[in-house]
Amino acid sequence: MAEKIQIRETPDGFSFKVRAVPRSSKNQVCGAQGEALKIKITAPPVEGAANQAICEFAAKLLDVAKSRVSVASGASSKDKTLFVEEPDPASRKALMEKIAGFAAG
């Protein structure tokens, strides 16, 4: 049975849990790990480099501007919550489905 990640919708966007794996050989999504989307990134967890890299990678995956993805919580942890700003309900739903698809593999 496929695991399902936790995605929370708000009026101005949505958030989802991420399990970050810094210092990986390449940036990639590895599916779900519990309620989180496991993402490997090449950046080290030093001075916010991994946080910036994971936001940029998530923005690229979702095809949104980098400025619309931020770390909502867990800045100094491997377990993070990312927030994606998207005020349009139809676009927000499409992006949430895209995230759920990455978790399914």
The CATH number of whichever domain residue 83 belongs to comes to 3.30.1200.10
pLDDT tens, residue by residue, 5-33: 999 999 999 999 999 999 999 999 999 99
Q: Indicate whether 2 belongs to any domain.
A: no
pLDDT tens, residue by residue, 30-78: 999 999 999 999 999 999 999 999 999 999 999 999 999 999 999 999 9
Query: How far is Cα of residue 68 from the mean position of the Cα atoms in its chain?
Result: 12
pTM of the entire predicted model: 0.93
DSSP string, 1-25: ------EEEETTEEEEEEEEE-S-S
- Strand 7-10 and strand 13-21: the pairing is antiparallel
Q: Name the residue range of residue 48's domain.
A: 7-104
Quote the number of domains for the chain. 1
